Amino acid sequence: MDFRFTDDQRALQDVVRRFVEKEMPKDRVAEWDKNEEFPKDLLDKMADIGLMGATIPEEYGGTGGGAMEEVIVLEELSRHSSTVALAYGLDVCFGAVTLERHGTEEQRREFLPKLASGQCHFALSMTEPDGGTDILGSTKTVAREDGDYFVINGSKVYTTGINIASHVFVVVRTEKDPNKPSHGLTVFLLPKDTPGIKYSKIVKMGSKFLHSYEVAYQDVRVHKSTMIGKHNKGWHAVLDTLNNERIFIAAVCCGLGRGAFEDANQYALDRTAFGRPIGQFQAVQHQLADTLVELDLAQLSTYKAAWLQDEKLEGSVQAASAKYYASEAAFRATDRGMRVLAGSGFTMEYHMQRYYRDVRQLIFAPVTNEMSKNFIAQVGCGLPKSY
C-alpha cells in the first residue's frame, strides 16, 4: 500500500497551500467573519489558478481530477476557513458532480466550463421547514406542469449561499404516491433571479460570512429544459451525489480539525505557567496527542473513501463512516483547543472560537451523524432499518 500522493497531487496541495497563505490568512478570515461578508472575488481568484475546475473533466474546461483532488483542495482551504471550503464545495463538489452525472450534454456544456472559470455559482435548495432528515416526508414544495413549463410554489430553509450564487438547484415534488414517497421528486436548476424567488437571511452562530436563507418560491415559472435528471426521479439524482457530499464534508472536517490543532499546539509552546511552557504538562500534552491521533484516523478514513470513489468501487459505508468520524474528531479537536487556550480561546482575538463555532454544523449537515450511523448499521452491519 502506497500512502504517498502522486507528483500532480503534491503540486496541487502546494498550490492551494500557497493560495491559502496569500489570499486567506487567518486574520483576514477573522475580518470576513466579523463583517459577515463573503469575499466574492476569492472564488474568482481560485478559478484563475484552476481550483474551480480541479475536478471537472478536461473536455468541459477543468483539469480532470477526482475525489482525491477534491479532498486535497478542501482540506487545505479548511485549515484556515471551513466556510470558504463550504462555498467551494457547493460549486465544485455538489454542483459539478450533479451536472456531470445527471445533466444533459447540453447542460454540461453550458454550466461546467462556466463553473471552472468562476462565471457561475450554485446553491442547493432542498431542506424545508418540516425537517431535513426526513426529506421524503417533509418536501411540500410543488411544481405543477403547464405546457412546456413548471410552476413552483413552496418554501425552503437553510439554502446556503443563494446571495452569491447565480443559480439554485431546487428539489420539488411533482407527484405524490403515498405508497412510494421516493417517487415524484424532481430537481430544477434555475437562475436565482427568476421572478417569484424571495429570500431572507437566517442569523447563525457559525460560518458567519456564508449566509443561509429561508427561500419562498411563489409561482416561479421554469422551462422544462431546466430539469436536472428525469421527471419524478429526482430522488435518484439526490442519492447519487450523497457519497461525494459525505467525502466533501469529511475533508472539510479534517482540514478544520488540523487548523484548530495547529493553533492549540503553538499556544502550548508559547504560553507559560509555573515557569515552563504549558505544553510541558502531561495533561496538555495528552489532549494534543489525542487530537493528532484522531485527526490522523479521520484523514485515513476520508482518503480511503475518496480512493474508493475514484476507483469506482462501492464505498457508501466508508463515505458515511468518514463523515461521521471526521466531524466528531474535528469537534473534539476544537473542544480540546478551547481547553488548551482557556481564557484566550474564549476571546475573539484568537481564532479558536471560530473553529469551535464553525464545526458545529458539520455534525448534522448535510446529514446528521445519527442518520449516518443508521445507514452504517443498516448497510454496513446488515441490521434492519430503524425508521
Ligand X SMILES: Cc1cc2nc3c(=O)[nH]c(=O)nc-3n(C[C@H](O)[C@H](O)[C@H](O)COP(=O)(O)OP(=O)(O)OC[C@H]3O[C@@H](n4cnc5c(N)ncnc54)[C@H](O)[C@@H]3O)c2cc1C
Task: Work out which of 26, 109, 183, 204 binds ligand X, going by CB under 6 A.
Answer: 204
Scanning residues 205 to 244, which ones bind ligand X (CB under 6 A)?
A: 207, 212
Task: Work out which of 139, 160, 186, 353 binds ligand X, going by CB under 6 A.
Answer: 160
- Using rule CB under 6 A, residue 361 touches ligand X: yes
Is 1 or 203 the residue whose CB approaches ligand X more closely?
203
Count of beta carbons in the 10 Å neighbourhood of residue 104: 13
Dihedral sign for Cα 214, 217, 223, 224, please.
positive
- Using rule CB under 6 A, residue 126 touches ligand X: yes
Question: Minimal distance in Å, beta carbon 129 to ligand X?
Answer: 8
Query: Which span (31-39, 127-135, 225-233, 261-269) binds ligand X, by CB under 6 A?
Result: 127-135
Residue 280 to residue 273: CA distance in whole angstroms: 10
Concatenated DSSP letters of 1-24: ---PPPHHHHHHHHHHHHHHHHH-
Question: Minimal distance in Å, beta carbon 155 to ligand X?
Answer: 12
Task: Work out which of 15, 300, 371, 377 binds ligand X, going by CB under 6 A.
Answer: 371
Residue 171 to residue 173: CA distance in whole angstroms: 7
Task: Work out which of 259, 268, 374, 375 binds ligand X, going by CB under 6 A.
Answer: 374
For residue 92, give the 3-state DSSP assignment.
Answer: helix
- Using rule CB under 6 A, residue 131 touches ligand X: yes
Question: Minimal distance in Å, beta carbon 387 to ligand X?
Answer: 3
Question: Minimal distance in Å, beta carbon 326 to ligand X?
Answer: 17
- Using rule CB under 6 A, residue 366 touches ligand X: yes
Read off the DSSP letter of residue 210: S
Question: Minimal distance in Å, beta carbon 213 to ligand X?
Answer: 9
- Using rule CB under 6 A, residue 122 touches ligand X: no
- Using rule CB under 6 A, residue 370 touches ligand X: yes
- Residue in this structure with the C-alpha cell 429526482, named with its chain if needed: 234
Query: Which span (142-150, 155-163, 179-187, 252-260) binds ligand X, by CB under 6 A?
Result: 155-163
Contact 82, 358 (CB under 8 A): yes
Cα-based distances in Å from 303 to 14, 260, 325:
18, 20, 13
Task: Work out which of 38, 60, 122, 158 binds ligand X, going by CB under 6 A.
Answer: 158
Task: Work out which of 55, 82, 159, 316 binds ligand X, going by CB under 6 A.
Answer: 159
Residue 59 to residue 109: CA distance in whole angstroms: 9
Query: Which span (152-160, 218-226, 234-242, 333-341) binds ligand X, by CB under 6 A?
Result: 152-160
Task: Work out which of 151, 216, 365, 377 binds ligand X, going by CB under 6 A.
Answer: 365
Q: Which grid coordinates belong to 290?
A: 489525542
Burial of 78 (0-12, 13-18, 19+ CB in 10 A): buried
Cα-based distances in Å from 85 to 253, 313, 344:
10, 26, 26
Task: State the Cα torsion 263-266-272-278 to the nearest 10°.
Answer: 80
Is 25 or 129 the residue whose CB approaches ligand X more closely?
129
List, in sequence order, every beta strand (DSSP E) within the chain: 122-125, 142-146, 149-160, 167-173, 185-191, 197-202, 212-223, 227-228, 272-273, 276-277
- Using rule CB under 6 A, residue 136 touches ligand X: no
Question: Minimal distance in Å, beta carbon 8 to ligand X?
Answer: 31
- Using rule CB under 6 A, residue 133 touches ligand X: yes
Task: State the Cα torsion 137-139-144-150 to the nearest 10°.
Answer: -140
Is 149 or 364 the residue whose CB approaches ligand X more closely?
364
* Residue ranges binding ligand X (CB under 6 A): 124-127, 131-133, 158-160, 204, 207, 212, 361, 364-366, 368, 370-371, 374, 387
